[in-house]
Amino acid sequence: GNSVTQMEGPVTLSEEAFLTINCTYTATGYPSLFWYVQYPGEGLQLLLKATKADDKGSNKGFEATYRKETTSFHLEKGSVQVSDSAVYFCALSGGGSNYKLTFGKGTLLTVNP
């Protein structure tokens, strides 16, 4: 079945540091890939997505590229801010008649001033 593996957290960075959160997946067919973010006390928000190989999703300075050859979708940001502190979830959605999301366990990011 489908699965998503994220790097274990927590991750603690200083403001303006470079961020990478690794994500690899196992899936049949050609899944869509997502990064969701969960700020403290809030629900999940879609951060970015990519629907086919070599697509790059981007939003709010975050980027991730769909790499089919390495089955990866790593999240990056060049300069993090304190307001980026949150839990980040990598997820995939399979094709066919069922588009349910399979999530990784989440990575807690804390950015210190």
Partner 1 sequence: EAGVAQSPRYKIIEKRQSVAFWCNPISGHATLYWYQQILGQGPKLLIQFQNNGVVDDSQLPKDRFSAERLKGVDSTLKIQPAKLEDSAVYLCASSLRLGTSGQETQYFGPGTRLLVL
User: What does the binding site for partner 1 look like in residue numbers (CB under 8 A)?
Assistant: 4, 32, 34, 36, 42-46, 49, 51, 89, 91, 93, 97-101, 103-106
**Which is closer to partner 1, CB of 16 or CB of 52?**
52
**Which is closer to partner 1, CB of 36 or CB of 62?**
36
Minimum CB separation from partner 1 for residue 38, in Å? 9
**Which is closer to partner 1, CB of 51 or CB of 71?**
51
* Gap between the Cα atoms of 92 and 51, Å rounded: 10
**Which is closer to partner 1, CB of 49 or CB of 77?**
49
Structural contact between residues 111 and 24, judged by C-beta atoms closer than 8 angstroms: no
Strand 11-14 to 107-112 pairing = parallel
Residues 6+ apart with CB under 8 A from 46: 34, 35, 36
Minimum CB separation from partner 1 for residue 49, in Å? 6
For the beta carbon of residue 89, count every other beta carbon within 10 angstroms: 23
Minimum CB separation from partner 1 for residue 101, in Å? 6
Minimum CB separation from partner 1 for residue 65, in Å? 18
* Gap between the Cα atoms of 71 and 26, Å rounded: 7
